[in-house]
Amino acid sequence: MEEMTRLFNLDAQLLHDLVLMILAIFFLFFFMSKLLFNPVRKMLEGRQAKIAADIKTAETDKEEAKELKAQYAAKLKDIDKEAEQILGEARKKAQDNAARIEADAKQEAARIIQNANAQAELSKKRAMDEVKQEMITVASMMAAKVVAAKIDVAIQEKLVDETLKEMGESTWQS
């Protein structure tokens, strides 16, 4: 029997120790698996999930950044168009203001010319009135001299010539 108890020339105690050691390693592996390997696996799976979520978030952020960049470019184009429109409106306003100022200036000039013409006409009428008054005075003086002298036509013509000389030729001719 002794031969039977020996397997591969190993004694029973060695086989017994070997079986116990295998069972101990199996149970140790099983408990280590439950206590250490599973939490480490869960941690690694969580980390993989977090990395995958971070990658997905990064891709989403990248897409959003592309959209924002496109919106920014579109807004820049719109701003350029708006700036050109504002400048165009400002130019038009300036031209309208210039035209209005020019029209006002022309009206003011016309009014000033009209006032100057009216002043000249009034001065002309005053001068004519003064000339008439002077002529009346001259005629009165001549009549007084004619009456006083009771003279003939030759003396009367001489008196008229003298009176005209007293008045001045420029006054009489204008």
Lowest mean pLDDT among 3-12, 59-68, 84-93, 129-138: 3-12
- Close Cβ partners of 15 (under 8 Å, ≥ 6 residues apart): 7
- d(CA 102, CA 9) in angstroms, rounded, equals 129
Tracing tokens 């007293």 back to the chain, one arrives at 166
pLDDT digits (tens, 9 = 90+) for 123-174: 988 988 888 788 778 777 777 776 666 667 777 778 778 877 777 655 545 5
Secondary structure letter of residue 154 according to DSSP: H
Residue bearing tokens 């004519």? 128
State the angle between helix axes of 38-149 and 153-167 in degrees (0 to 180), rounded to the nearest 10: 150
Instruction: Please tell me the pTM assigned to this model.
Output: 0.37
Structural domain count, the chain: 1
Q: Which domain holds residue 67?
A: 2-173
Q: What is the mean pLDDT of the chain?
A: 84
Give the pLDDT of residue 158: 80
% of the chain beyond a pLDDT of 70: 88
β-sheet bridge partners, residue 7:
10
Higher pLDDT, 5 or 88: 88
